[in-house]
C-alpha cells in the first residue's frame, strides 16, 4: 500500500440488507469515500455554462448525464451548502442545470409515440404545457423521471434525469415504427429558484411571466435569443427554468442577462439544493430510484393511472404489481419512506448509503438514500428504503451514521422514525401532493 494507511476495503458497506428482489443489490454499487481528483477530459461534456459556473466560483462538481455538474460554490469554511440553502429559501438562486439534456420527439406520430413510453396520458398534455412523467421498462422499473415539455402539437422535449434515454427511445421506435424524429437538441436550461424568482423573471422577460401556471410554458427572448420558460424546478419553492435554444452559441448572453437582472433581487449562483428537494419529497434518479425500482416502491404510484386505456411499456407488469399490493403481497422487498433521525446535523452530500436497522438493534434491514439537515424542522431528514412491513408512519428505527455525524458518547447509530413525505409543505406542490389533495391515488 502506498501513500495512505487507509484500507479502503474496510470502508465497504455491509451487504446483509435483504435485496433479493434486485439483480444488482444497491450496496454493491457504492463508492463510499473516494479521495481522488476529478479528471476534466473530453469523455465528459462541459456544457455551455460550465466555464460560467467556474467564473461564478464553482469549486466541486459531479457527473450527471455524462456532463460535469456544479455541486458547490460556497466552500465549507465559509458556510458551505447551508449558505446556498439560505439564498434559495430567502432570496433567489441561479443554477446551471444543462445536465438536463433535451431529447426531442417530433413528427406526425409524436403524441402516439410519447403516449407509448410514459405511464400517464400524453393526450392530456396540451401544447405549451409540461408534466412530470416516468418512463418504465417492460418489468415496470423506472428508467427515467423527466419533465416532459410539449412545445407544439407535434413536438415534445424530454428534460432528462440522470440516465440516457435517447438510445432507448430510438430502439423502441425500431419496433413501433412511428413517424417521428428522435434526437438530442442544442437546448440547455438554467433554473431560477426562490421566493424572488418571479420578480426576477418579470424584469428579464416582462409581465407575461406572472401568467405562467405551474408546469406551464411561455415562449420569449432574452437579449434577442429564443427561450422557453417553464414554471418548474427541483425545490418545492417558487421557481422557473429557462430553456435556451442554440445554447452552445448564446450561453453567455443568457447567463449574464440573468446575473444583471438578479442584482436587485440578491441573486446568488448556487448548486441544486438537494436539502430542499429532499424536504419536498422530490426524488433523484440513480440515488433514490433506478431501473430496478417500481413506481409503487418510491412514492411514484400516483404516476400509474388506473384509467389510461392505451397500452404503454411496463403496463402489464405495473398492473400486476398493483393487484399484488392491494392483496397485501407486494412484489418487492423494500419501500421508500421518509425518516427523521438524530446525530449531528448533516450539512453535505452523503457519499454512501447509510444502513438502517431495527430500533432495538440487530442486523441492518434497509438503507438511507438521501439525507440532509432541515433548518425548519431542526432535525436530520432522509429518504430511505425499509422493508414493506416497517413502512408505517411512527415506526422506530436506527440509522448507522459516519463518524462525522456521531453524537458524543453514542455508538455510531442514531434513533429514527418513519414520517410522511413531503416533510414540509411546498410552495409549488408536486403532482403527488396535488393528487392526494384531490383525493385521488393517481394522475389524470
Domain check: are 399 and 283 in the same one? yes
Domain with 420 in it: what CATH number? 2.40.30.110
Q: pLDDT tens, 347-359?
A: 999 988 999 999 9
Q: Kindly give, in sequence order, each residue whose CB lies less than 8 Å from that of residue 269, ignoring residues fewer than 6 positions away.
A: 53, 56, 57, 73, 93, 94, 95, 96, 259
**pLDDT level of residue 430 (50, 70, 90 thresholds):** low
Question: Is residue 216 situated within a structural domain?
Answer: yes
Residue-wise pLDDT tens digits, 261-315: 999 999 999 999 999 999 999 999 999 999 999 999 999 999 999 989 999 999 9
* CA dihedral of 138, 142, 145, 151, whole degrees rounded to 10: 0
Q: How far apart are CA 391 and CA 419, in angstroms?
A: 9
284 and 390 belong to one structural domain: yes
Number of other residues whose CB lies within 10 A of the CB of residue 430: 20
Q: What is the pLDDT of residue 351?
A: 85
Same domain, 286 and 391: yes
Given this model, what pLDDT does residue 1 score? 38
* pTM, 2 dp: 0.93
284, 387: one domain? yes
**What is d(CA 379, CA 376) in angstroms, rounded to the nearest whole number?**
8
Quick check: helix, strand or coil at residue 66? coil
Q: Which residues are 132's β-sheet partners?
A: 147
Domain membership flag for residue 129 = no
Average pLDDT for 115-129? 98
52: which DSSP letter?
A: H
pLDDT of 105 > 60? The answer is: yes
- The DSSP H or E segment spanning 147 is strand 147-152
Residue 257 and residue 403 in one domain = no
pLDDT band at 61; cut points 50, 70, 90 = very high
- 286 in the same domain as 257: no
* 253 and 338 share one domain: no
Residue 114 CB coordination number (10 Å): 24
Percent of the chain with pLDDT over 70: 91
Asked whether residue 209 is domain-assigned, the answer is yes
In a domain, residue 305? The reply is no
CA 301 centroid distance within chain: 16
- H or E, element range at 223: none
- 10 pLDDT band (50/70/90 cuts)? low
What's the count of helices (H) and strands (E) in the chain, helices before strands?
Answer: 9, 21
- SS3 track for 95-113: EECCCCCEEEEECCCHHHH
Q: What is the pLDDT of residues 138-185, one digit of tens each?
A: 999 999 999 999 999 999 999 999 999 999 999 999 999 999 999 999
**Between 338 and 409, whose confidence is greater?**
338
> In terms of residue numbers, what domain contains 242?
187-265
Comparing 363 with 73, the larger pLDDT belongs to 73
- For residue 376, tell me if it sits in a domain: yes
Q: Which residue has the higher pLDDT, 37 or 68?
A: 68
What whole-number distance in Å separates Cα of residue 370 and Cα of residue 205?
A: 35
Q: Judge whether 358 lies within some domain.
A: yes
Q: Quick one: 433 and 287 in the same domain?
A: yes
What is the Cα 20 distance to its own chain's centre?
A: 26
pLDDT of residue 38: 76
Nearest to 104 by CA among 170, 161, 44: 170
Q: Residue 274 and residue 392: Cα distance in Å, rounded?
A: 25
Tell me the pLDDT band of 2, cut-offs 50, 70 and 90: very low
β partners of residue 190 = 96, 242
**Which pLDDT score is estimated for 37?**
80
Closest CA relative to residue 435, chosen from 233, 300, 296: 300
Number of domains in the chain: 2
257 and 284 inside one domain: no
Percent of the chain with pLDDT over 90: 81
pLDDT in tens, 228-257: 999 999 999 999 999 999 999 999 999 999
Q: Which residues pair with 62 in a beta bridge?
A: 69
Q: In this structure, are 400 and 432 located in the same domain?
A: yes
In a shared domain, residues 344 and 370: yes
If asked whether residues 285 and 396 sit together in one domain, one would say: yes
CATH of the domain at 216: 3.30.1360.120
Residue 239 lies in a domain: yes
**Model confidence pLDDT, tens digit, residues 172-225:** 999 999 999 999 999 999 999 999 999 999 999 999 999 999 999 999 999 999
Residue 310: the pLDDT is: 95
Q: How confident is the model at residue 362 (pLDDT cuts 50, 70, 90)?
A: confident
The per-residue pLDDT for range 387-416, each reduced to its tens digit, is 999 999 999 999 999 888 988 666 789 999
Q: Is residue 237 part of a domain?
A: yes
Amino acid at each position: 500500500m502506498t501513500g495512505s494507511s487507509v484500507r479502503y476495503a474496510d470502508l465497504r458497506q455491509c451487504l446483509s440488507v435483504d435485496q433479493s428482489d434486485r439483480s444488482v443489490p444497491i450496496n454493491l454499487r457504492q463508492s463510499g469515500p473516494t479521495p481522488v481528483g476529478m479528471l476534466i477530459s473530453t469523455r465528459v461534456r462541459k456544457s455551455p455554462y460550465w466555464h460560467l459556473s467556474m467564473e461564478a466560483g464553482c469549486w466541486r462538481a459531479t457527473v450527471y448525464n455524462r456532463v460535469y455538474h456544479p455541486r458547490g460554490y460556497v466552500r465549507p469554511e465559509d458556510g458551505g451548502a447551508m449558505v446556498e440553502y439560505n439564498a434559495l429559501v430567502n432570496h433567489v438562486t441561479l443554477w446551471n442545470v444543462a445536465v438536463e439534456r433535451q431529447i426531442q420527439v417530433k413528427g406526425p406520430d409524436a403524441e402516439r409515440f410519447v403516449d407509448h413510453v410514459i405511464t400517464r396520458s400524453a393526450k392530456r398534455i396540451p401544447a405549451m404545457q409540461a408534466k412530470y412523467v416516468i418512463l418504465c421498462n417492460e418489468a415496470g422499473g423506472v428508467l427515467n423521471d423527466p419533465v416532459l415539455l410539449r412545445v407544439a402539437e407535434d413536438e415534445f422535449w424530454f428534460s432528462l434525469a440522470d440516465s440516457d434515454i435517447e438510445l432507448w427511445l430510438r430502439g423502441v421506435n425500431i419496433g413501433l415504427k412511428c413517424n417521428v424524429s428522435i434526437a438530442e437538441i442544442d437546448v440547455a436550461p438554467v433554473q431560477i429558484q426562490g421566493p424572488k424568482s418571479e420578480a426576477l423573471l418579470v424584469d428579464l422577460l416582462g409581465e407575461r411571466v406572472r401568467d405562467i401556471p405551474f408546469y406551464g410554458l411561455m415562449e420569449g427572448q432574452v437579449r434577442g435569443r429564443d427561450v422557453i420558460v417553464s414554471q418548474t424546478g427541483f425545490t418545492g419553492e417558487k421557481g422557473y427554468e429557462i430553456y435556451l435554444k442554440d445554447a452552445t452559441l448564446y450561453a453567455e448572453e443568457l447567463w449574464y442577462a440573468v446575473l444583471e437582472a438578479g442584482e436587485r433581487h440578491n441573486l446568488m449562483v448556487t448548486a441544486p439544493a438537494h436539502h430542499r428537494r429532499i424536504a419536498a419529497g422530490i426524488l433523484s434518479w440513480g440515488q433514490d430510484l433506478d431501473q430496478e425500482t417500481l413506481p409503487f416502491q418510491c412514492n411514484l404510484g400516483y404516476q400509474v393511472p388506473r384509467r389510461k386505456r392505451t397500452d404503454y411499456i411496463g403496463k402489464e407488469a405495473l398492473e400486476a404489481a398493483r393487484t399484488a399490493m392491494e392483496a397485501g403481497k407486494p412484489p418487492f422487498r423494500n419501500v421508500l419512506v421518509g425518516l427523521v433521525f438524530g446525530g449531528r446535523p448533516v450539512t453535505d452530500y452523503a457519499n454512501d448509503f447509510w444502513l438502517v436497522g431495527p430500533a432495538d438493534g440487530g442486523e441492518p434491514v434497509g438503507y438511507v438514500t438521501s439525507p440532509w439537515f432541515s433548518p425548519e424542522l431542526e432535525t436530520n431528514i432522509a429518504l430511505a428504503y425499509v422493508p414493506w412491513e416497517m413502512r408505517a408512519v411512527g415506526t422506530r428505527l436506527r440509522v448507522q451514521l459516519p463518524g462525522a455525524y456521531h453524537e458524543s458518547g453514542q455508538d455510531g447509530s442514531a434513533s429514527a422514525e418513519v414520517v410522511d413525505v413531503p416533510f414540509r409543505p411546498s410552495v409549488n406542490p408536486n403532482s403527488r401532493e396535488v393528487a392526494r389533495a384531490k383525493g385521488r391515488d393517481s394522475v389524470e
